[in-house]
Structure 1
């Protein structure tokens, strides 16, 4: 067996009678450090953008037209209307007990809560400093327009922070506590808190204000989902046919897509047939239907909508290091 170390180029050479390996010492570590640095910078950029966009949503579109957003920010907006307390300050104050609960009750609570507290503090400061810069009455006096744009921009801000692996705290932390400790679904927690905000908005701003708050909450949820999942650009098809081999071959040759098949039995007829499962781009749906109909006009085809596809032929999975 022969072992040699060449220091000049930082290269480690290992050789024996069975195989030879050449490793560049330190190069892998340097690349990993660069990737971690890049991911950290990207994460901070996403968080910063999310904070600024979320603050603009509240100060430019929602609060000037008496529209309450979701969660702790919504409660703080209502308290500002009733008591005159600064919105940013109240966001921070209301978050304190929630974050303390998270610290005590969540696994790895210190790490999770510390990140949230920093984001909450910056978000609160940005809101209270942006408010005086916004024209009185906002940039439009049309409440529906403000509800829509306020919800969209707010949802984008939340989605960007979520994509960075963080949260704005508030009801997100509360929902996580209830889920981890008591098995309470997070969606139910959000539904309950949002409903309370809408009712409170009706009491403070009038019931028309409650309707606008509901519009803002709904559009914010859609925008958040869009940021997290992206546009629906793929379609999935289930094809029940007697000619699976011919159809799958045409799909492979003409669409460059694969297919998965399994044998099924119709409960009404009791006849066994084959079902193909295919994932294609949205632009390929028409071609897929044409290929199937040319081979088997009697095939039963169901086409559904998908959010995203990862793997060969589609997007590569990329994980941001936290």
Structure 2
């Protein structure tokens, strides 16, 4: 129950932040950065349609398609965000335009909107819109998710050529790239990890530190030096990005000549990461509990 309430909190706050970015940065600067929001910017210029009304009206049939083609589970995760977002757009409609510089609006509006959408995604929801179409096409066609996303958002940005000049469309593309980058950082940044490989003459001390003090698992591999032909032991462990500086400092305390390789790990699943350290051990588990 606590997790669900926290998810609702994230979706609510994220939708509010996104709505503020939309009204204070994008709308008056004609930044049509993909999605139903981008269409709302173009159609507001072409037909005078109120953005909040258009987003709400568009989401209703899209939610029906979501229920039919993607199932009840996805529908329930999507419905709250897709309905609360246009409500917040209407509530923040009178926010003053922060800047008349389209480049600044594209970059900083993209940061604000991306941060809001990132929080919504962390809350296991979405703001609906063309994201539903992307999910449907990805499910029922052989096209990769990224390709479908680019095609749909590219189509929306292309439509804005009817309403705005080429310079404005290019600013919209900058905004779209900024949003995608910020969403990616927020989605993975809180769980960023590093895969560490260590070759040291103090293998036992470093291994004991990782397992006993840092409370992480570690693998020990025999290796052969390509130049000398000598045998050594290599340690491999995975830690959070926050833990890495501490680990590096301690390794160099034991052996200032230690060879350390740190590689980004975009997704880590298992104990201490996707499973809690208190996860009950099964008899056939490959790794011991963290």
Which interval holds the TM-score relative to the shorter structure? 0.7 to 0.9
Q: RCO higher in 1 or 2 (8 Å CA, sep ≥ 6)?
A: 2
Partner of 2:55: 91
C-alpha distance in 1, partners of 2:43/2:249?
Answer: 56
How big is the alpha-carbon RMSD for the aligned residues of Structure 1 and Structure 2? 3.4
C-alpha distance in 2, partners of 1:180/1:116?
Answer: 16
Structure 2 stretches of 5 or more lacking a match? 278-290
Alpha-carbon offset, residue 162 of structure 1: 1.8
Partner of 2:145: 186
Partner of 1:48: 12
Structure 1 stretches of 5 or more lacking a match? 1-35
Out of 127, 130, 134, the residue aligned to residue 95 of structure 2 is 134
Partner of 1:165: 124
Q: TM-score, normalised by structure 2?
A: 0.77
Partner of 2:183: 224
Alpha-carbon offset, residue 275 of structure 1: 2.3
Is the 1:54–1:156 contact (alpha carbons within 8 Å) kept by the matching residues of 2? yes
C-alpha distance in 2, partners of 1:43/1:177?
Answer: 24
Alpha-carbon offset, residue 149 of structure 1: 2.2
Alpha-carbon offset, residue 158 of structure 1: 1.4
Partner of 2:284: none
Is the 1:61–1:147 contact (alpha carbons within 8 Å) kept by the matching residues of 2? yes
Is the 1:140–1:146 contact (alpha carbons within 8 Å) kept by the matching residues of 2? yes
Q: Cα–Cα, structure 1 residues 116 and 261, in superposed 2: closer, same or farther, change >3 Å? A: same
Alpha-carbon offset, residue 58 of structure 1: 0.6
C-alpha distance in 1, partners of 2:214/2:79?
Answer: 50
Alpha-carbon offset, residue 293 of structure 1: 4.2
**Is 1:78 aligned with 2:37?**
no
**Is 1:274 aligned with 2:238?**
no
C-alpha distance in 2, partners of 1:51/1:115?
Answer: 14
SS in 1 for 2:150: helix
Partner of 2:287: none
Is the 2:196–2:263 contact (alpha carbons within 8 Å) kept by the matching residues of 1? yes
Q: TM-score, normalised by structure 1?
A: 0.70
Is the 2:200–2:255 contact (alpha carbons within 8 Å) kept by the matching residues of 1? no
Choose 54-63 or 69-78, whichever is displaced more.
69-78
Partner of 1:102: 66
